[in-house]
Structure 1
Amino acid sequence: MRRATILTLRIAIALSLVGSLAIQVLILPTVWRDLSDAPTGWRVASVTIVALWLVCLQVVAICIWRLVSMAADDAVFSARAFRFVNVVIGAISAAAILTAGFATLLVPGQVAPGAVGIIYGAALATGGVALVVVVMKSLLRKAIEMRSELDEVV
């Protein structure tokens, strides 16, 4: 990978981590206070879902950072990469479930059905991203096998 690409990826990942931490520390407490009139169960569930969704984002960012580091060291074509890819798949899948849970939480409320539908669509799209990563994992597996075969030939 080119050095500029790695640097750009690392900057984007660092910004997403800083931004997500800022949301957790600065904005979620404000949301909690703003929801003071909401039923306690709904308030706890909604803020918890958003907080967990941010944790999923952070886990994905850290795993991608590690994979970028492995790519920079030309070590991404190894079995060690699967550990990070599997965690990414799990975190993205969890984010999809959390998004669907949030949409479900909004169903009985005053939120427009179209908005709830959009959030369910976002959950579906997020699940699709997890499936794309599963496909990429199978491509990584094939690349590792081909590299091993090539190493044997050489």
Structure 2
Amino acid sequence: MSTATILTLRTALVASLMGSLLVQVGILPAIWRDLETAPLAWRVAAVSILALWVVCLQVVAVCVWRLVSMAAAEAVFSVGAFRFVDIVIGAITVAAVLTAGLATLLVPGDVAPGVVGLIYGAAVATGGVALVVVVMRSLLRKAIEMRTELDEVV
């Protein structure tokens, strides 16, 4: 992996983490205040879903950072990479479930059905991203097996 690619990806990850901290510190409390007229249980559920979704983003960013570090050190083709890939798959799956939960929370409200449908669509798309990472995990496993075989031959 080129130095420019690594630097660009790390810059994007830092921006993502900084933005997520801004959401946690500034935007989530504002959403909590904006929902003051909503029933308490609904308000807690909505803000909790959003907060957990942001945590999923942060977990993915940290794991990708670690995988980029492994790639930079040419150590990504090792069994240790699976731990981070598995965590990414789990975090993306949780984010998909949370997105569907948010859509479900909005169903009985005043939100337009099309908006709810779009949020459900986003949940399905997020689940699809998790499946893509599962496929990439299997490719990583195959690459590790091939590298191990090649090392034995050499």
TM-score of the two chains, using structure 1 as the length reference: 1.00
Q: 2:8 is matched by which residue type in structure 1?
A: T
How far, CA to CA, are the matches of 1:90 and 1:21 in structure 2? 21
How far, CA to CA, are the matches of 1:19 and 1:98 in structure 2? 19
The aligned counterpart of 2:11 is 11
How far, CA to CA, are the matches of 1:27 and 1:128 in structure 2? 28
Q: What's the CA shift string for 1:76-129, capped at 9, x where partnerless?
A: 000000000000000000000000000000000000000000000000000000
Give RMSD over aligned pairs.
0.3
Q: 1:15 is matched by which residue type in structure 2?
A: A
Q: Which runs of 5+ in 1 are unaligned?
A: none
The aligned counterpart of 1:84 is 84
Q: How many residues align?
A: 154
TM-score of the two chains, using structure 2 as the length reference: 1.00
Does residue 63 (structure 1) correspond to residue 67 (structure 2)? The answer is no
Q: Tell me the secondary structure at the aligned position of residue 75 of structure 1.
A: coil
Does residue 101 (structure 1) correspond to residue 101 (structure 2)? The answer is yes
Among the aligned pairs, what percent are the same residue?
A: 75
Q: What's the CA shift string for 1:3-49, capped at 9, x where partnerless?
A: 00000000000000000010000111011001000010110000000
Q: Which runs of 5+ in 2 are unaligned?
A: none
Q: Which runs of 4+ in 1 moved over 6 A?
A: none
Q: Tell me the secondary structure at the aligned position of residue 114 of structure 1.
A: helix
Q: 2:152 is matched by which residue type in structure 1?
A: E
How far, CA to CA, are the matches of 2:17 and 2:125 in structure 1? 22
Q: Where does 1:34-73 land on structure 2 (aligned, <5 Å)?
A: 34-73=34-73
Q: Tell me the secondary structure at the aligned position of residue 25 of structure 2.
A: helix
The aligned counterpart of 1:152 is 152
